[in-house]
Amino acid sequence: MTAQFGYPSDREETSAAQVRALEALLIEKGVITSGTVDKVLGYFESEMTPLNGRKIVARAWTDPEFARRLAADTPAAVAELDLPDGMAGAEGEHIAAVVNEPGIHNLVICTLCSCFPWPVLGLPPYWYKDPVFRARAAREPRKVLTELGVALDEDTEVRVWDSSGHSRWFVVPERPAGTEGMSEAELAELVTTESMIGVALADSPAGR
């Protein structure tokens, strides 16, 4: 996916090397410590991760009333769940969910920079920040989705949501067929970060 939107295959490795070099320099200058870095990384590994979003989607799939509350007031609905305390921070106050349904497919982008719903999806993937992806997804979303393998019926409306500091959108994908009787934990395994951005569909149980 990354290469398709302008990132060569070694771009992520180069960026990672630059981050490591910057980290080493900041530690050497005494600006931060290795413990600070570990604390921040641990926060994103345990508090702000896609696991939160997967749990939210699974609950919405199994509880229609929760799904309605989620669309109407996302922070309030999310607060009903047993999720990390970080969900209640400043970023969590701005998350907003949009729900896919028959005839409607939602796609989330950020045309200005890389605003992202960290509390439910963690850090944004590299391709999400790619200016080529951002521009094309805003201009020709259906074509971009088709290139990514999301085959939609011609009469399906594609709605594009532009994340910002005021509203950080995420998608509740449609529940896959053949999942009747599955537990919330099992359903959560079918939810991917890409499906919560709208560039993919949730996994089918047959394909797992």
Q: Which residues are catalytic?
A: 110, 113-115
Total H helices, total E strands in the chain: 10, 4
Phi-psi label, residue 175: left if phi above 0, alpha if psi -120 to 50, beta otherwise: beta
Assess contact for 33 and 159: CB atoms under 8 A. Answer: no
3-state secondary structure of 10: coil
125 C-beta neighbours (distance < 10 Å), count? 19
From residue 9, alpha-carbon distances to 27, 98, 131, 145 in Å are 29, 32, 17, 21
